[in-house]
């Protein structure tokens, strides 16, 4: 059912459950006949959490094995990229880790000390946005409804509770080799070599290349992943790194005859 959600771009478990219940072809694919009830969205959530990461890793390797057998996985040239997704959690529900004080109560108390009516929501919001020394540190604040979500920047630059999904991809075929949802405050370069080598190890088993003589020949990254230590670690394992050079103005620094 999760595969159905991925391939049909269904972004919620309710939508996945509804689609699988309604479609005759999906019922057949899942092994349900017309008289059987397909799993409810709440069951889908519970079962998914119960299975654990190990089961999903095994499922990924089954898919990669099928791709390799049909020539849809090469495993030589890799690329890695991360993104940002908003968590299902609100900044207004933050609590202080030590005092358990709610963030909004904390802000209203500060506003009252400066003479602002704490019951004037709009005025308190304006005060919070502009107050000097404003800092929402993940070391001090967390959301009790989603403790793993972190305060960070969304794609449009707004501050919100976020996660950071990351994919390691076979550049020759587009197959996803490794996927992970990392904390929203993690840097791309942190433990980069470890994550890439884990993906290469899985590929070695799938591609029957235990010495990793064919898989993991190169890794393409952007400048956000650059770290001397991590790059040296990758090159020490025989993985060539390809990274674009950071330029503030390409037209100003490149010769006019270079396209």
Rounded distance between C-alpha atoms, residue 57 and residue 16, angstroms: 21
Amino acid 145: pLDDT: 87
Rounded distance between C-alpha atoms, residue 81 and residue 198, angstroms: 16
Domains of the chain (ranges, CATH numbers) = 1-51 (no CATH), 53-90+161-245 (3.30.420), 91-153 (no CATH)
Do 81 and 222 meet the contact criterion of CB atoms below 8 Å apart? yes
Q: Write the DSSP assignment of 223-240 as a string of letters.
A: GGG--HHHHHHHHHTTPE
Amino acid 246: pLDDT: 58
Q: Write the DSSP assignment of 92-125 as a string of letters.
A: GG-EETTT--BHHHHHHHHHHHTT--TT-HHHHH
- The ranges of the chain with pLDDT < 70 are 245-259
Amino acid 47: pLDDT: 85
What are 46's two structure tokens? 């519970």
pTM: 0.74
Amino acid 118: pLDDT: 87
Rounded to whole angstroms, what are the CA distances from 51 to 15, 26, 198? 21, 22, 21
């Amino acid at each position: 059912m999760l595969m159905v959600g991925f391939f049909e771009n269904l972004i919620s478990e309710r939508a996945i459950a509804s689609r699988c219940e309604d479609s005759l072809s999906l019922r057949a694919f899942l092994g349900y006949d017309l008289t059987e009830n397909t799993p409810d969205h709440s069951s889908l959530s519970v079962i998914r959490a119960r299975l654990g990461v190990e089961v999903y890793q095994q499922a990924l390797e089954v898919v990669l094995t099928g791709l390799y057998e049909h020539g849809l996985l090469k495993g030589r040239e890799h690329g890695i990229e991360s993104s940002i997704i908003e968590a299902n959690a609100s900044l207004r529900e933050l609590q202080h880790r030590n005092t358990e004080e709610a963030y909004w109560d904390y802000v209203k108390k500060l506003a009252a000390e400066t003479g602002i009516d704490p019951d004037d929501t709009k005025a308190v919001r304006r005060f919070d946005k502009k107050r000097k020394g404003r800092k929402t540190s993940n070391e001090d604040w967390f959301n009790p409804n989603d403790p793993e979500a972190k305060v960070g920047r969304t794609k449009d630059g707004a501050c919100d509770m976020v996660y950071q999904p990351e994919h390691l991809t076979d550049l020759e075929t587009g197959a996803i080799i490794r996927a992970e949802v990392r904390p929203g405050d993690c840097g791309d370069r942190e433990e980069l070599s470890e994550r890439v080598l884990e993906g290469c190890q899985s590929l070695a088993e799938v591609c029957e290349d235990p010495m990793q003589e064919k898989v993991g020949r190169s890794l393409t990254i952007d400048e956000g992943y650059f770290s001397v230590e991590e790059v040296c670690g990758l090159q020490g394992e025989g993985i060539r790194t390809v990274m674009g050079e950071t330029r503030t103005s390409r037209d100003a620094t490149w010769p006019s005859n270079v396209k």
